[in-house]
Amino acid sequence: MIDFPIGELLDDSSCLIWLERHLHVDGFKCPRCSCTERRLFRAQGYFPAYRCRSGEGYDTLLTGTVFAKTRQRPATLVLLLRGMAKGEPTARLARELGLSRKQLHTLRQRLQTRLNATAPTDVMVGNAFEADERYHNAGKKSTPHRDPRDPPRRRANQRKGHGTSANDRPPIISLISRETGEQRFWVGDHADRRTCQARITEHMPADRTPLYTDEWQSYRGSHPAHATVRHGAYEWARDDDGDGQREVHGNTCEGAGAALRTYLRAFRGVHKQYLHLYVATSEAIVNAKRVTPELIQRMCIGHLPAHTSYT
């Protein structure tokens, strides 16, 4: 695909207004005393500095975000956020924005880390759920392999069966609500019974809400209302209650997994150490469906200690 830089076509003043509207929904406030009264302190660079009328110090619209003290144009930051939301590869996005690949990769990881840290941990809402797991080829991309006992993974890993992080096929466990369409993903070292059941127990209602999975043994006993579809017997959907609708299936999870795989394919290989960050980013984007102030704030201002269960 061809690069198409559009940074010069965007107006910095309009992008500055967009950033303020999405980063400060209730208006720009002093980060120390929450005062809304401000005065211009210094017109420096692209982001003016303001001083609170009731205190000392000065701040910009980017204070407290991953872009604090940046020297990039507002248009560049808006296009960076847009590229993140669209799943643009790092190398291409760096070329279009005129940044070094290393610099853009650092900014991308900061944004992804905040999306991972603020991922939802509450119980999901819905009248039926599906769970599934898939295994993604992810080695140690760009990491030198000087130890002969730790050779680099061959491309197009053809290892069969259920993978683990140790054999460069870490599992991605998914849980989806059919009613709301909310998707949640977790990257783990194994897809054993303890791991799968822990995710389901933490995020599904503890009542008789049905859970549908395939016949993988790790799901056995994970929920009181559990029904499985037997892929091993070439069964893809089944009608258990006789209403004419084959409700027992995992097609929703299968489709979500295919979409996630397509999202990850654009990066041409992801280091398994950072795979959970890319998966968390895809989850946030899919659930948000469109760019909102809440999503932008999660990307730029999220508190890192809030969530750690992706790793």
The SS3 of residue 219 is helix
Q: What pLDDT does 153 receive?
A: 65
**Under a CB-based contact definition with an 8 Å cutoff, are residues 170 and 135 in contact?**
yes
> What are the structural domains of the chain?
7-78 (no CATH), 129-140+161-291 (3.30.420.10)
98/286 Cα distance (integer angstroms): 28
Q: Can you tell me the distance from the alpha carbon of 145 to that of 153, in angstroms, rounded to the nearest whole number?
A: 10
**pLDDT for the residue numbered 155:** 66
Nearest CA to 250 among 216, 207, 288? 216
Q: How many helices (H) and strands (E) does the chain have?
A: 8, 8
| Radius of gyration for the chain, computed over Cα atoms and rounded to the nearest angstrom | 23
Residue 102: partners with Cβ closer than 8 Å, 6 or more residues away: none
- Each residue's pLDDT, cut to its tens digit, for the chain (311 residues) gives 788 989 889 999 999 999 999 999 988 888 777 787 777 877 778 898 888 877 677 888 998 899 988 889 999 999 999 999 999 999 999 999 999 999 999 999 999 999 999 999 999 999 999 999 999 988 888 888 788 877 776 666 767 778 899 888 999 999 999 999 999 999 999 999 999 999 999 999 988 899 999 999 999 988 999 999 999 899 999 999 999 999 999 999 999 999 999 999 999 889 999 999 999 999 999 999 999 999 999 999 965 544 444 33
Distance CA 267, CA 246 (A): 37
List the end-to-end C-alpha distance of the chain, in Å, as a whole number: 33
Please give the pLDDT value at position 305. 47
pLDDT computed for residue 102 by the predictor? 93
Per-residue pLDDT, 142: 80
Token reading at 279: 């998966």
